[in-house]
Structure 1
Amino acid sequence: MPQQTKLISKEITSLRLGLLATLVVSILLNYIAFPDSLLAQDTISISPTSGTVGSYVTITKEGLNCNFVAIYWDDQILETKVMVKDDGQLKYRFKVPPTPRGRHTMKIKQLGSADSNIASGVFTVVPHIEIFPDMGRGNIPVTITGSGFAPLEKDIKIFWNNNLVCSTNANHLGSWGVTFEAPAVTKGEHFISVIGSTTTAEEVGVLKFTVIPLAKAEPLSGPVGTEVKIRGVGFRTGEDGITITYDNEIIKCNIVGGPDGSWDTTITIPPSTAGYHTIGVYGSSFTPKGIVPDIQFKVTPSIELLPTTGNKGDRVTIKGTGFASNEEILINFGLVALGKATAADSGCFEFVFQVPQTSKGEHTVGVSGNSGNIAKATFTVAKEPPLAPEPIYPKNKEKVEIFGSITELLSATAAFLLHSVTFWKETPYLTSVAPGVELTWTDLPVDNSGERTYILQIGPSWDTDLDSPIVVKEHLTETKYECHLPPGYYTWQVKAVDDIDNESPWSLPAQFQIVVVSPYVLALALAIPLSVIGLTVWLWLWISRAT
C-alpha cells in the first residue's frame, strides 16, 4: 500500500511538472510571436509613429503614479531618470537612435525595478539616405550615407543617373556610407538612387546633386508680365557683373554673388510671342558666356480687360500678349462675335469694343488665333437696379368713379340703350360700355444702357401682400395702363425692369375702391332730365293758356 501511494505521488509530481513546462513553452512561444504581449496593458502615445534614424519623436503618458521613470528603446536605455509632472503627466522628446528598419518597442519603466513596465508603444523605423555635398563641380568627392536599412543588408547599390557607381553592405544597425568621385558630367541637376537586397529605391527616394555653376528659374511658363525668380549657385565668392538675358537681349545686369557664390533676383517677362524663349545667365571673366546652362521659358497667350466691369454700351479695351507674330485673332463676347484683330511682331494686340446687350453677371470674353493660341477673361456686367416707381393714380385709399361726370354717365347710358335695342339678345352690363380705369405711375430716367419696362399687379380686396393677383401685366413700355374692373376694392403695385433684367423693388401697395357713380353725379344726372321735363311741361301749359 505505501509503495502504491509513492507511485501515485510520483505520477502527480510528473503531471505538475509537465503542465508547468507546457505553460512556460506557451509563454515563450507567445513572446516570440507577439513580443508586446508581455508588456503592461497600458500604452504610451507616440508622435509620429514612424520615421527615420535621427528624426525627432515625442512620447506622452498621463496618469502616472511615480516621480521618475526610465525610457527604453527595445532593450537599450535612452534616459535613466525622467521626471514626471505633479499631475502625473510625462512628455519626452528624443532622436531616433541608429537602428535597423522595422518595429521597435518604446517602454516606460519605474525606477528601481528593471522588470516593472508601466506602459509601452511601437515605433517603426523606415530607411533613409543623405548626400554631402549636394552641389559642386565635377570630379569632387561625394558621400552617400544610409540608415534604417535591414541589419547586415548586403548588395546595396548606388546609381548616378541610372549608372552603377559603387556598392556596399550595411552594419548590424542597418547603417552604411560610401564616398566616390562625382563624374565629369554636364552642369545642372543629376540624380542618385539606391537599392539594396531588402530595401527598394521607392522607399528611400532620389537624391539630387547639382553640378555648378547653375541658375534655376521659377516658374518656367506664364504670360507676358510674369515675374520669374532666378537663383544662381556655384559662382565665385562676391562675383559681380552677373547678367541675365532674354533671347540674347540684356534685361538685368550688375548682380553680385554672395559670400557662398549664390544670388537671387527677379525678372519680368517682356512682350514676346507664344512659345519657348531663352533666359541666359553669365558673370564676369570667372563665369563667361556658355558656362551656365540656359533656361527655357514658355510664354502663354493671355488677355487683359480694361475695365473688367461695366454696363451695356461701355467701351472696353482688350490687351492681348503672347500670341504668334501677325496672328489673326477672333474676339467674342459670350456667343456674340465682336470682330477681328491682328497681332504685331511681338505677339501683342489691342481691340476696343462696346458691351453688347446682355444679362447681368459674369461673361466670358474669348479670343482665338489662327495659329491655335487661345485666351479668355471675365467681364462682369454690374448695374444698379432702377428705383421703384411711385403710384400717381389712384393713390392709396382713393375712390375711383367709373362715371366721373354727367357727360360720361349720359353718354354711357345712351350707348347702353342703343346697344340694347340693336342687339337685344346680348344686352350688356352698363359698366361694359363705361370708360376704363387708367392706372398711372411716375416715369424713371432712362440712361444710355437701354430702355426700361414695367410690371403691373392688381389684387382683389385690400390685400397688401398681393399673393394672388388677378391682373399681371409685364413688358409695359408706358407709365400707364387702362383696365376694366367691376366695382369693388383693389390693391395695385408696379416695378421697373431695366435692359439687363435688373428689377426695382415693388412700389408701395396702393389700395383703391371702384364705384359706378357718386351720389352727386347721380343726383345731377336725375335732376337735369327732370328739370328739362318740368320746363317742357311748363312751357306747354303756358302756350296752351296763351292760345
Structure 2
Amino acid sequence: DGEAVVTGIRADGTGYWEENFYVPEMPTGEYGITAEGEQTQDIGELNFEIKPDIVLSPDEGHVGIDLTATGHGFAANEDVVIMYDDSQVATAETNDKGSFSGVSFLVPVGIHGAHQVTAGYAAGNAASAIFTMESDPPPVPELISPPDGGRVGFIGRVTPTFEWSEVSDDSGVYYNLQIATSENVTDTGEFADPIVSKNVSVGTSYTLEETEALPLGTYYWIVQAVDGAENESDWTAARSFRAGLLP
C-alpha cells in the first residue's frame, strides 16, 4: 500500500528469494503487496485483507481479576464496544490506525471454563477472544458447631445456629448448608432427602428461622463451599446432633 516493509533483499543465482515481514499497524481493509528492484520486472500485485483482532491479558484467571483488551485492524477513529459473553463491560475508541489498547475491566462472576470477549462497532466488524475462568474448587470447610453427637435446645421446637470454618478462594466463596433426618447421601455427597437447604453468602454461620425450627429428634448436617466460578468443594462428612434435652 505504498509503504516499504522490507528492503535489502538479495535473490540467489536462480533469481529466487524469500522474506518474512510484520504487517504494519493499519485499519481494516484490503491492501496490496508488490516487489520491485533495479533489475526486477514489474510483477502482479498480491492482495490481502486486514481484519479486526483482539488480545486479552491475561487470558485466564478468576472472578474479579483485572482483564485488559488490546485491538488492531478495526476501522479508524471508531467507537468500539467490549462484550463479555452477552454483557457490555467496556468501550474504546480506535486511533487513526484502527487500534486501541489498555481497555480494562473486572471479570464478572461466571461459571468456570471458556467465556467469549468480543469487540465490535456499528459497521458490523467484530473480533473475539476467549478468556478461561479458573476451575479449581475451594477447600472443604470444617464443621464447628453443633459438635458431633451434641444436643441443642431444651424442649419444643429449636432453632440452632450452625457454624463452620471459613475458606478462601480467589473467585470469592459462599456456602451450602443441608440438614436431614438421615445421613444417607447421594453420589455427589449431598443428602438424599434434606429437610433444610440453604445458600449462605455472608459469614460462616446460619441460624434456623422459626419456620425451619426442628422438633425433638436426631439430625445430620453438612456444608459445602462454592466459589464465584461455580466450582464446588466436596461436601463435609455428616455430623449428627440431637434437638431438645427432654425426654
TM-score (norm 1): 0.40
Match in the other structure for 2:28: 274
**2:138–2:168 contact (8 Å) kept in structure 1:** no
> Are residue 363 (structure 1) and residue 115 (structure 2) matched?
yes
Aligned residue type for 1:287: T
Which aligned pairs between 1:303-322 and structure 2 lie closer than 5 A? 303-322=54-73
Shift of 1:509: 1.4
Match for residue 467 of structure 1 among 189, 192, 198: 192
Match for residue 302 of structure 1 among 53, 56, 63: 53
Alpha-carbon distance in 2 for matches of 1:331, 1:476: 30
> Are residue 380 (structure 1) and residue 132 (structure 2) matched?
yes
Which aligned pairs between 1:99-498 and structure 2 lie closer than 5 A? 247-284=1-38, 286-287=39-40, 291-350=42-101, 351-396=103-148, 398-403=149-154, 430-432=155-157, 435-445=158-168, 449-450=171-172, 452-463=173-184, 466-475=191-200, 477-483=202-208, 484-498=213-227
Alpha-carbon distance in 2 for matches of 1:471, 1:255: 77
Alpha-carbon distance in 2 for matches of 1:338, 1:380: 17
Alpha-carbon distance in 2 for matches of 1:362, 1:445: 23
Report the CA distance shift for 1:436/1:323 in structure 2 as closer, same or farther (over 3 A).
Answer: closer
Aligned residue type for 2:34: G
Shift of 1:402: 2.9
Deviations along 1:400-452, whole A, 9 cap, x unmatched? 1533xxxxxxxxxxxxxxxxxxxxxxxxxx514xx5332221123475x44x3
- Percent of aligned positions with the same letter in both sequences? 32
When Rg is computed on C-alpha atoms for both structures, the one with the higher figure is 1
**2:90–2:104 contact (8 Å) kept in structure 1:** no
Report the CA distance shift for 1:323/1:496 in structure 2 as closer, same or farther (over 3 A).
Answer: same
Shift of 1:495: 0.7
**1:362–1:381 contact (8 Å) kept in structure 2:** yes
Report the CA distance shift for 1:303/1:472 in structure 2 as closer, same or farther (over 3 A).
Answer: same
Match in the other structure for 1:500: 229
Alpha-carbon distance in 1 for matches of 2:185, 2:120: 54
Deviations along 1:35-94, whole A, 9 cap, x unmatched? xxxxxxxxxxxxxxxxxxxxxxxxxxxxxxxxxxxxxxxxxxxxxxxxxxxxxxxxxxxx
**1:464–1:509 contact (8 Å) kept in structure 2:** no
Shift of 1:486: 3.1
**1:321–1:349 contact (8 Å) kept in structure 2:** yes
Deviations along 1:137-178, whole A, 9 cap, x unmatched? xxxxxxxxxxxxxxxxxxxxxxxxxxxxxxxxxxxxxxxxxx
SS for the counterpart of 1:444 is coil
Aligned residue type for 2:73: G
Report the CA distance shift for 1:439/1:369 in structure 2 as closer, same or farther (over 3 A).
Answer: closer
Shift of 1:388: 1.2
**1:303–1:377 contact (8 Å) kept in structure 2:** yes
Shift of 1:321: 0.8
Aligned residue type for 2:144: I
Report the CA distance shift for 1:482/1:329 in structure 2 as closer, same or farther (over 3 A).
Answer: closer
Give the number of equivalent residue pairs.
238
Deviations along 1:497-539, whole A, 9 cap, x unmatched? 2233222211121123345248xxxxxxxxxxxxxxxxxxxxx
Alpha-carbon distance in 1 for matches of 2:53, 2:169: 37
Gapped regions of structure 2 (runs ≥ 5): none
Aligned residue type for 2:78: E
Shift of 1:391: 0.8
Aligned Cα root-mean-square deviation (Å): 2.4
SS for the counterpart of 2:156 is helix
Alpha-carbon distance in 2 for matches of 1:263, 1:446: 56
SS for the counterpart of 2:139 is coil
**1:327–1:371 contact (8 Å) kept in structure 2:** no
Aligned residue type for 1:454: Y
Alpha-carbon distance in 2 for matches of 1:445, 1:264: 56
SS for the counterpart of 2:21 is strand
Of Structure 1 and Structure 2, the greater helix share is in 1
Alpha-carbon distance in 2 for matches of 1:254, 1:337: 47
TM-score (norm 2): 0.84
Match in the other structure for 1:243: none
Shift of 1:358: 2.7
Aligned residue type for 2:150: K
Q: Post-superposition, which runs of at least 4 consecutive aligned residues in structure 1 deviate over 6 A?
A: none
SS for the counterpart of 2:229 is coil
Gapped regions of structure 1 (runs ≥ 5): 1-246, 404-429, 519-547
